[in-house]
Amino acid sequence: MKTKTKKKENLEKKSDWGVPKGSLGWPLIGETLDFIASGYTSRPVSFMDKRKLLYGKVFKTHLLGTPIIVSTDPDVNKAVLQNHGNTFVSAYPKSIRELLGEHSILQMNGNLQKRLHALIGGFLRTPQLKARITRHIENCVRLTLGSWQHMQMLHVQEETKKITFEVLVNVLMSVGPGEDLDFLKREFEEFIKGLICLPIKLPGTRLYKSLKAKERLLKMVKKIVEERKSAMEKTDEKEMPKDAVDVLLRDSEEASEKQSLPLDFISGNIIEMMIPGEETVPMAMTLAVKFLSDCSVALHQLMEENMELKKQKKDSGEDYSWTDYWSLPFTQNVISETLRLSNIINGLWKALKDIDIRNLELLLNNSFTPFGGGQRLCPGLELSRLEISIFLHHLVTTYRCVAQEDEIVYFPTVKMKKKLPIKVTPL
């Protein structure tokens, strides 16, 4: 977690009233080179560890052109999450701001952010969606794993993206396999490459290419949203929403004119909500396979637990349910430990005013926050865990996997250097 201050001078001038110790490094570049270099090693926390030893758990530095305060203290970080909107607001690098736009849910604060968070979170928790999406995830996982039987070698990082992107686009817009899904995936891959890059928009630059990809994505998504809105206006029946587009359109329909959400706003945020399907969830699945391949004892215990569930379902003839996967304690522990070890997402925050962190409420009994916290708690956390649970269940009850040697790269985002190649043998 990093908290951004206004100006570099403030860090220097106000040290007498308690700005944390630290170094701002070289002019302009600060300590950015050391930070990036550590991200390409097997120990990305070395940058933090070195400074934590020198200055304490909270220290100042200068990264990516901005003086910042870095906190490695779990209690402080959770307190920041709990104080979101009052003392702290989210802040992101310029490339992210350019790509996501001013109405991005990531950059949004206040009542509108709370409203969207509640709408999407509420929809993802409905029993109807849980039953439907469990079946859909199972179908996607079985289809993908079934295609592995005759493959000499496969790359987990790429294979998991096939599952998670299709699942999420279905939840967001009810788009299934076909040309539209292929187009969305291809353009989204181009779009997301520019999230962390030099904020230069000249033709040929990474940011320029990603912005062009977003234009093409917006054109398709807006067409889907407009067609759905038109269909809604032709009927008075209030059916259960089948996806996030339905949820946002229906809320706009029932809201006053001032609170109605523009179609461009809905379309842009639907695109933004695709990010977990291309980045975070498939990466968590990949890393779970990586960590399990490094620990045969955990893999054996996971296999035993899931084989028992598979036997129960075969004997009873019942379909799997959402709760079946959540009732696997060791599987859930594997997911939690994967998220704890990998730290896939970083938090970046800006203080609205000078704050003494010693005055924050630090009496917190849980510092494990892989899905954020407070107003920024991920609304799709249960769906994400379900996807990973289903993937691991069918993987360990279908194949014996041998992972090849690979390394985790942590910059600009967490990735496997070789996409985690594995060989599989049907059980």
pLDDT band at 5 (very low <50, low <70, confident <90, very high): very low
- Residue 220 is assigned to a structural domain of this protein: yes
With tokens 């070395």, the residue in question is 46
Question: What is the domain extent for residue 312?
Answer: 73-233+241-356+369-426
Give pLDDT, residue 238: 76
pLDDT band at 96 (very low <50, low <70, confident <90, very high): confident
Averaged confidence pLDDT in the chain: 86
Give pLDDT, residue 369: 65
- β-pairing, 348-351 vs 66-71, is unpaired
- Residue 18 is assigned to a structural domain of this protein: no
Give pLDDT, residue 104: 82
CATH number at residue 333: 1.10.630.10
Provide the percentage of residues in the chain whose pLDDT is more than 90: 52
- What is the reported pTM? 0.84
- Residue 293 is assigned to a structural domain of this protein: yes
- Residue 135 is assigned to a structural domain of this protein: yes
- Average pLDDT of 364-375? 62
- Residue 397 is assigned to a structural domain of this protein: yes
- Average pLDDT of 274-303? 93
Lowest mean pLDDT among 15-24, 50-59, 61-70, 229-238: 15-24
Q: What is the pLDDT of residues 341-358, one digit of tens each?
A: 876 666 677 777 887 766
Q: What is the pLDDT of residues 147-195, one digit of tens each?
A: 999 898 999 999 999 999 999 999 999 999 999 999 999 999 999 988 8
* DSSP 8-state secondary structure symbol assigned to residue 195: S
pLDDT tops 70 at residue 17: no
Cβ within 8 Å of residue 189, ≥6 positions away: 278
Domain count, the chain: 1
Give one DSSP letter per residue of 45-84, joined into a string. THHHHHHHHHH-SEEEEEETTEEEEEE--HHHHHHHHHTB
- Residue 393 is assigned to a structural domain of this protein: yes
Lowest mean pLDDT among 26-40, 124-138, 264-278, 378-392: 26-40
- Residue 88 · residue 352 · CB < 8 Å: yes
